[in-house]
Chain A
Amino acid sequence: RGMRRCSPKYKVVGKVQGHLTHLLCHSPEPSEEDDIDEEVDEEEEVRPESLSSEELEKLKEAVDERKKLIQALRGKPWPIKKKCVILRESQEFVEKYEGALGKGKGRKLYAYKVLMSKKWMKFQRDFENFKTACIPWEMKIKEIESHFGSSVASYFIFLRWMYGINMILFCLTFGLVMVPEALMGRPYGTIPRKTVPRAEATSAMDFAVLWDFGGYAQYSVLFYGYYNNQRAVGWLKFRMPLSYFLVGVGTVAYSYMVVIRTMARNANESGVGDDNSFNFNWRMFTSWDYLIGNPETADNKFASITTSFKEAILEEQESQKDDNIHLTRFLRVLANFLVLCCLAGSGYLIYFVVRRSQKFSQRDSNIEKEIHVNMVMSLLGMFCPMLFDVISALENYHPRVALQWQLGRIFALFLGNLYTFIIALMDEINLKREEENIIKFNITVWEASLFNGTVSVNSTAPPVTIEPADVPRGPCWETMVGQEFVRLIISDTMTTYITLLIGDFLRAVLVRFLNYCWCWDLEAGFPSYSEFDVSGNVLGLIFNQGMIWMGAFYAPCLPALNVLRLHVSMYLQCWAVMCCNVPQERVFKASGSNNFYMAMLLVILFLSTLPAIYTIVTIPPSFDCGPFSGKQRMFDVIQETLESDFPAWFGKVFSYASNPGLVLPFMLLMVLAIYYLQSTSKSYKEANMELKKKLQTVVQNMFPPLVQQSCFNVYF
């Protein structure tokens, strides 16, 4: 009614906006909308050029609103038919008024902007299509989901996500480190560090030596020691040492970014954390897993839902349970004490085995020493969790809490093992560095003997040509570290696969075929088929990734190895799960949100980059192998690049920026910013609680049906 008093031009804009709100609040029949559409068309064709600037603004707003509606159309709870009609109308409206909106000087630019944004949207859509076509193993995961439910499938989805990360790390190390050195660096055999020493040449091709990553495998792009310290290689003048250093830093930075981004996304989705106020509601409305597509799994699910309801009812009825609280407390303390003993015992065992193997390192061959350490670590990793499981029976916790304790203990076990391994490695590094000093001294003696005393030290005689294979070598501790990590990963993988084959496959075969001639029912009683251990497998995956992060700087081949390993694991475990496992009877997730495992991954990422950073910053590189040989510290390559490749003023700016007088206030500022953000987030949480309470009282006081209906309309 108010519109009739305005000019006809306003009528068009106003009518359009009114039409929009009309569409959003009601659901007219398609025929009705055609009538309205025709009405708008029949209105005088108002040319946008003849509108004044405010009317133009209003028209622009209407066009923008329509555009936003098109973007948000997917999320509206309307049937597709209605959405298609609205989509078509909005698109026609936008086309009709948009192209002509820019007037005068700005017109061409506006039309150009519109064209570009259309092309951009089309590109985005094609890219999305391409991305979803690239996602591997979708059907495999779907099959597992329908047989085992979403918690088992979540492990495989996590595996796939890890595979993606490792693929990117592989591309970085392969493309920027391994390929340039292989193609543009000096070829094999030209300089001492790239040649197998004369003493080892006869056994360099043996399978046993290659499997242990010695021989030709050691003197290749796979390990740190092969790389030359030449500042620029090839016709591209590729800065090899700089690239090596930056790729090492870049892999860690990329991993941090991806993990934190995923955590932030998960945190957004799951909203407020664990809350127990809707216990029965959640059991009723979110317990059925819609992914299930298999009758046996469905049966299991029905049974577990029934059990869970019965348990909840029992808990509700017996909410006062204080008898035997002292006994329970005592048992829990006892259990924790036993677990601590186990952890201490396993740590001491690893330390003992490593020291023993060092003492006898001359007698035993390298391979036997490795087998001792890795075997002990893998066996501990297999048996201690079972022991923790048995001990936790004393504690009498709710299954979800018990699972969290179990995961925490296994985490502590693996962490202890890993750090004991690193301490042993540090001892080795120190040994090798002492050896290096001795060898440096020996080389000067050897060089003097080459001239046989015929020429004095300071004269300029032509240098004697020697075969690179005959030059005495330093021990190259970095390659040794890389080799240790590669061997650890390989033995860990082998252990996992063998455990899988024996523990799951052999067990299933025995249960299946011995059942015909056995006294009791093997399938229903002991041992029956195994269940898929989601949390154990996820932890194994996380720790493996930690080892990759630790060793990738010293062995550029590690990401490639890991990609291969994950690829094989995916197929092997998918097959094993479908063939030998049965669906779990009771499903308890470790926590409500997915962030539990992400948080663990972040902790491991931090803890595994610490040793690598420590060695880079404190230990000087070997004098004759690797891209940083000859420097005082590995990060000197940055200083060198700044001095030689960048203009002088850049170096000055950088030196000012790295001045402690500037860095310290900056760090102080960041600490203050963190404190400020923390306190605002706390106050937001409190405001949230207040609003929640207010919402309850306000809704209670209003007339229920009418206002709620309009609230719903406004919400949508």
Chain B
Amino acid sequence: MGNKQTIFTAEQLDAYQDCTYFTRKEILRLFDRYRDLAPQLVPLDYTGQPDVKLPYELIGSMPELKDNPFRQRIAEVFSEDGEGNMTLDDFLDMFSVLSEMAPRDLKAYYAFKIYDFNNDDFICQSDLVKTLNKLTRNELTEDEVRMVCEKVIDEADLDNDGRLSLEDFQHMIVRAPDFLSTFHIRI
């Protein structure tokens, strides 16, 4: 494998390989995707670790994310500032967690944060209502929405506080047969 790239130092690439589920080639390819979003903002030399953030609008317009109803939440969860503006590190992190090789527990942790719209470390009734409306594009009636959210909390809430904590969520999601195959973005 040629070492001709000058974007990262060898140590940086090795560190990225240890911290994500990507190989060297994939990391360079991801960098190209990141740079393609805004070639004038992203420098070609990352050896000095420049502080470059791409605004959420650019991230949300990527073909892999633009049809996803949760793209805003995904960008917010993985971005450093919590607003959806991502550095290259956040970008790599996001796709590493959403890749095929990430284990179930790691994905469950981040899925919980994505569906927790108000960032209070619990999935409460309002979070569920927002999730459901995003999933069905507001096609269900209010009664139906209320019924579904009550059933969801009924099924998974172990400690009976009326909302889902991380344990409740993890306990439920690790048994889901489709979780690994749907919570996956290929890039």
Contacts and interface: CB of A to CB of B under 8 A. Distances in A.
Interface of A: 70, 73-77, 79-81, 83-84, 87-88, 125-126, 128-130, 132-133, 138, 141-142, 145-146, 150, 154, 269-272, 274-275, 277-282, 284-295, 297-298, 302, 305-306, 309-310, 312-313, 316, 589, 591-593, 695-696, 699-700, 702, 704, 708, 711-712
Interface string B158-187: 111100011101011111111111111111
Given A77-B110, A79-B90, A281-B155, A293 B25 contact: no
B56 interface: no
A130 B1 CA distance: 9
B34 interface: no
Which of the listed residues B96, B148, B178, B187 has the most CB atoms from chain A within 10 Å of its own CB? B178
Given A79-B90, A287-B182, A291-B186, 8 more contacts: A80-B89, A81-B89, A290-B182, A291-B185, A302-B136, A310-B140, A708-B159, A708-B165
Interface residues of B, number: 75
B159 A700 contact: yes
A285 B147 CA distance: 16
Contacts of A712: 166-167
Nearest to B68: A290
A73 B15 CA distance: 10
A285 B158 contact: no
B175 A286 contact: no
Nearest to B177: A592
Contacts of B177: 270, 274, 591-593
Nearest to B101: A74
Given A87-B15, A281-B156, A302-B135, A146 B63 contact: yes
A292 B67 CA distance: 7
B165 A289 contact: no
Contacts of B32: none
Interface of B: 1, 15-21, 23-26, 63-64, 66-70, 80, 89-90, 92-93, 96, 98, 102-106, 109-111, 115, 128, 131-132, 135-137, 139-140, 144, 147-148, 151-152, 155-156, 158-161, 165-167, 169, 171-187
A286 B26 contact: no
Given A129-B1, A284-B148, A704-B165, A80 B176 contact: no
4 nearest CB pairs, A to B: A592-B177, A298-B67, A80-B89, A83-B19
Contact of B104 (A138, A269, A699): A269
B105 A75 contact: yes
A715 to B, nearest CB: 8
Which of the listed residues A271, A277, A704, A711 has the most CB atoms from chain B within 10 Å of its own CB? A704
Which of the listed residues A126, A128, A132 has the most CB atoms from chain B within 10 Å of its own CB? A132
A291 B135 contact: no
A633 B73 CA distance: 69
A384 to B, nearest CB: 30
A286 B152 CA distance: 13
A83 B21 CA distance: 13
B89 A281 contact: no
B139 A80 contact: no
A70 B14 CA distance: 12
Contacts of B184: 150, 290-291
A287 B70 CA distance: 13
B18 A74 contact: yes
A131 to B, nearest CB: 9
A80 B20 contact: yes
A284 B148 CA distance: 9
B179 A286 contact: yes
A94 to B, nearest CB: 13
Contacts of B179: 282, 285-286
A284 B152 contact: yes
A699 B182 contact: no
Given A150-B182, A285-B111, A700-B159, A272 B175 contact: yes
A80 B19 contact: yes
Contacts of B96: 74
Contact of B19 (A73, A133, A591): A73
Nearest to A83: B19
Contacts of A141: 186
Contacts of A700: 158-160
A305 B136 contact: yes
B167 A295 contact: no
A381 B103 CA distance: 40
Given A269-B180, A309-B140, A711-B167, A280 B151 contact: yes
Contacts of A280: 148, 151-152, 155
A711 B165 CA distance: 12
Contacts of A291: 182, 184-186
